[in-house]
Amino acid sequence: MSNIDLTPLYRTMVGFDRMATMIDTASRLDGTQGYPPYNIERSGENAFAIEIAVAGFTEADLDIETKEGQLTVAGKKGENEDGDGREFLHRGIAQRSFIRRFQLADHVIVTGAALHHGVLRIDLVRELPEEKKPRKISIGTDEARSEPKLISKKAAGSAA
């Protein structure tokens, strides 16, 4: 895999060094990311869903975890589940163990998961905190302008 040079971006963007870390992490993922197949869907302005084809897995075989902005889905199958005397001439439905990782954007949380007809659906939503949401700033006139007033937490506490 070739290296990506992000130097031109750093010349015009400030505070995006976390992006380089995310790209580096994504490039180090192992090449076995083809199984199981998955879809990522936008189901609303701030809502998303990940659907993973997990045929043959039950809820007990699957583990979903989020940690430090990364969603990890793991499926664990027993070593030998052919103990029921079945003899396969062709086994095309893969039921091997897997780990699938997804990097979540800031403020994206998992709201639920469901397994239906061999498809695991994980619902996600982006919830911006109030201080991150855009807010309208009113424009005053020259007559209303005065010296800027900064109220520190210490001054606000002693004024009360």
pLDDT of residue 160: 47
What is the rounded distance in angstroms from the CA atom of residue 74 to the CA atom of residue 97? 7
Mean pLDDT across the chain: 80
Domains and CATH numbers, the chain: 33-82+92-129 (2.60.40.790)
What is the rounded distance in angstroms from the CA atom of residue 148 to the CA atom of residue 105? 36
pLDDT of residue 136: 87
* Tens-place pLDDT, residues 74-129: 999 865 555 567 888 988 877 789 999 999 988 999 999 999 999 999 999 999 88
More confident residue, 152 or 37: 37
Omega prior to 129 cis, within 30 of 0: no
Q: What is the pTM of this model?
A: 0.64
What is the rounded distance in angstroms from the CA atom of residue 123 to the CA atom of residue 113? 6
- Residue 71: pLDDT over 60: yes
b/e for 69-87, b at 16 or more Cβ within 10 A?
eebebebeeeeeeeeeeee
What is the rounded distance in angstroms from the CA atom of residue 121 to the CA atom of residue 144? 55
Pick from 26, 62, 15, 40: nearest CA to 124: 40
Please give the angle made by the CA atoms of 105, 27 and 3, to the nearest 5 degrees. Answer: 120
**In whole angstroms, how far apart are CA 69 and each of 24, 41, 64, 108, 114?**
15, 18, 13, 8, 21
* Tens-place pLDDT, residues 11-33: 676 666 666 666 666 666 554 56
